[in-house]
Chain A
Amino acid sequence: MAVNLKELSCKPEGLTGGHRLCAGCGAPIAIRQVLLAADKPVIVTNATGCLEVATTIFPYTAWAVPFIHSAFENSAATASGLEAAYRSLRRQGKYSDEVYFLALGGDGGTYDIGLQALSGALERGHNFVYVCYDNQAYMNTGIQRSSATPFGADTTTTPCGSARPGKTQRRKDLTQICAAHGIPYAAQTTIANWRDVVKCAEKAFKAEGPALLNILAPCPRGWRYESDETVNMARLSRDTCVWPCYEIENGIVSISYKPKEKKPVKDWFAAQARFRHMLRPDNAALLEEAQAEVDMKWAQLQTLEAVAKAGTEAAAAE
């Protein structure tokens, strides 16, 4: 599946310019990369959130593809209905086009309030792609913590105060939760790897059944960095292994990006004002804890990949 930039740049955009997302927002980058990977028309459903409110302010819309938003927690349930209608109408000979269904949500709409609907839709096996654009907090309502918010982050509901150093809990692993449903395809990637996003999205669209893409989409307002640094921030998330890029295809784990030199989490913290306090000498233990967690998760992932590889080789040898 070779991804050709020249060809991609000639494809029509599903999410057009003129929307009112912030300068430097990672979400539209992620969505445009995903839409470029589709070789059939795409019908989009979107949870309430930054992406939805900033792209559909009546009487305008930035969407050149069929689009529906109804509520916050139900992007996957809405997609279930769309896909069920499609299957029913095609089976009855009332509809002949072939389309893909793409459900979108931020981390709030996916990790938290929409997790039940997503889990239900994955378990039922609807043929759709769910994309979480993960910016690690409720950015639309003004940077409140979500279960995707990393340990130590200063948000408006986990403020760094004299008694508490930002968020004291670890983040939830959505990709693994979704993969545990036994779906044919799940991947975790980020907008800095445009080639990887397009490749993963292509696999997700072509998968027979539900697929998940968890795409890290940095947010300049919430992470507190300059708006021209978004792609660098995604790159740093990947290079520190804070956000490992990998896919799980029919249960087989494969890491899509292995940094030549794994950078310390400290570098990631230093680039974002939401973690400024984590670099203070009195918080050295917290920094150590954060680094230990990243190291542990990265080691786990490599083990999973090695096990999968050994299993595949053993199967081939038989």
Chain B
Amino acid sequence: MAETVLLEGNAAVAFALKQVNPDVVAAYPITPATEVVQEFSNYVANGEVDTEFVAVESEHSAMSACIGASCAGARVMTGTSSQGLALMWEMLYIASSLRRPIVMAVANRALSGNINIHCDHSDAMGARDSGWIQLFCENTQGIYDTTIQAVRVAENTNVQLPVMVCYDGFVISHAVEVVDILSDAEVRQFIGPFEPVAPLLDIRNPKTIGPLDLQDYYFEHKRNQAEVYKNVEAVVEDVGEAFGKLSGRQYGVVDAYRLEDAEVGIVLLGSTAGTAKDVVDSMRAKGHKVGLLSIRMFVPFPVDKIVGAIQHLKCIGVMDRHAALGSYGAPLFTAVRSALYGKTTVPVLNFMYGLGGREITMAEIEGIFTTLETTAAEGVKGEGIYWIGVRE
């Protein structure tokens, strides 16, 4: 029986966590994800979950404890942001290499320095190659739905990988929205019971986890691990579809909006999709053939879905909420353009925006669409990399 409640983004994570009822949560508070830990502590204090909550002394220890608990044989979840994610960096790679199905909420926030507590995607981008599946959410409903789906994705026998549920810090972590929720029973049935693979607590079958892996084997182990990521897209799609049947809200690896007959389009991640959809609608009303591709699964990068959605466009703009210093274009841009190589020769432009929580306005997004239309007609001017909303 569907119920509708008012929730902040972080509270939506905590509520989903409560419904999943993981065996262990090890977490450390950090703005703007603090409420995840705080709200969940209330559930623990009131006996609403069976979870052993470990209030660790740092994010490095949070992920270390999550890995230990997961290896022991527990279902494990956590949450963090920005500097916390950066402090975990070493352990992120170990979690994925040990094939730990840990689910972590990440309220995206700018990395220092200078210190800033507001949204951009530099934290998640720093973890792009760490072997975690990265799912981005557009709104609070998306956070709630994705957190639940992430558990089933992570624990799928063909996946067994950690998942980050990324959502824009403050923009949606602190935005109160109307959220349709499932019942506890529906959530628990959807995710199913946890079946640990080779748990360390199985004392009758002792095993050594995390051995020294030298030049004679490490390469093969990485090669094997790389293969697993090929399974992920189908599982995320299947889980999104099954969730759709349960809730009426369908999810895929990308969200294409009015792209079919579009001439130019924007590709982006996260909450800006909501704003951009409104811009698409208003420009469509004025006769502009514009569309949007919001990428839900950034890692592993769903190349075919992305190419299929945008290769017919006459000009493509990729919006990155992260400045990859010294690189030629930011991560989403380089990934999209590389995916399009050999499929189309149209210009692909990079728009850097919203660093450190700088607002992105509808007018600015409209301006990007106008730049794409002009470029489609007249060709690329300059290096094709634009900074939006910054005082130059």
Contact = CB atoms under 8 A, between A and B. Distances in A.
A57 B91 contact: no
Nearest to B65: A81
Contacts of A63: 206, 208
Contacts of B60: 73-74, 77, 117
Contacts of A79: 68
Contacts, number: 164
Contact of A71 (B52, B71, B94): B94
Nearest to A95: B201
Contacts of A66: 200-203, 206-207
Contacts of A95: 73, 201
A68 B209 contact: yes
A69 B201 contact: no
Given A71-B91, A77-B68, A84 B73 contact: no
Interface string B206-243: 11111111100100000000000000000000000000
B64 A86 contact: no
A17 to B, nearest CB: 16
B91 A88 contact: no
A117 B202 CA distance: 26
Nearest to B218: A58
Contacts of B73: 85, 89, 95
A137 B202 CA distance: 35
Interface residues of B, number: 43
A47 to B, nearest CB: 11
A117 B214 CA distance: 27
B52 to A, nearest CB: 4
Nearest to A87: B52
Nearest to B68: A81
B74 interface: yes
A89 B70 CA distance: 12
Nearest to A68: B209
A92 B52 CA distance: 10
A61 B213 CA distance: 11
Interface residues of A, number: 46
Given A64-B206, A71-B94, A84 B211 contact: no
A41 B68 CA distance: 17
A121 B57 CA distance: 8
A261 interface: no
Contacts of A123: 57
A290 B210 CA distance: 41
A151 B360 CA distance: 59
Contacts of A97: 201, 203
A78 B65 contact: yes
Given A69-B209, A78-B68, A80-B68, A99 B56 contact: no
Contacts of B211: 56-58, 61, 69
Contacts of A85: 23-24, 52, 68-70, 72-74, 76, 201
A80 B58 contact: no
Q: Which 10 pairs from chain A and chain B are nearest by CB?
A: A81-B68, A120-B57, A81-B65, A85-B72, A85-B74, A77-B64, A74-B64, A77-B61, A81-B69, A88-B52
21 contacts: A41-B203, A56-B210, A56-B212, A66-B202, A66-B203, A69-B209, A69-B210, A70-B67, A74-B91, A81-B24, A81-B65, A82-B200, A84-B74, A85-B68, A85-B201, A88-B23, A89-B74, A91-B52, A94-B23, A97-B201, A120-B58
Interface of A: 41, 43, 45, 52-53, 56-59, 61, 63-71, 73-74, 77-82, 84-89, 91-92, 94-95, 97, 99, 116-117, 119-121, 123-124
Interface of B: 23-24, 26, 50-52, 54-58, 60-61, 64-74, 76, 90-91, 94, 98, 200-203, 206-214, 217
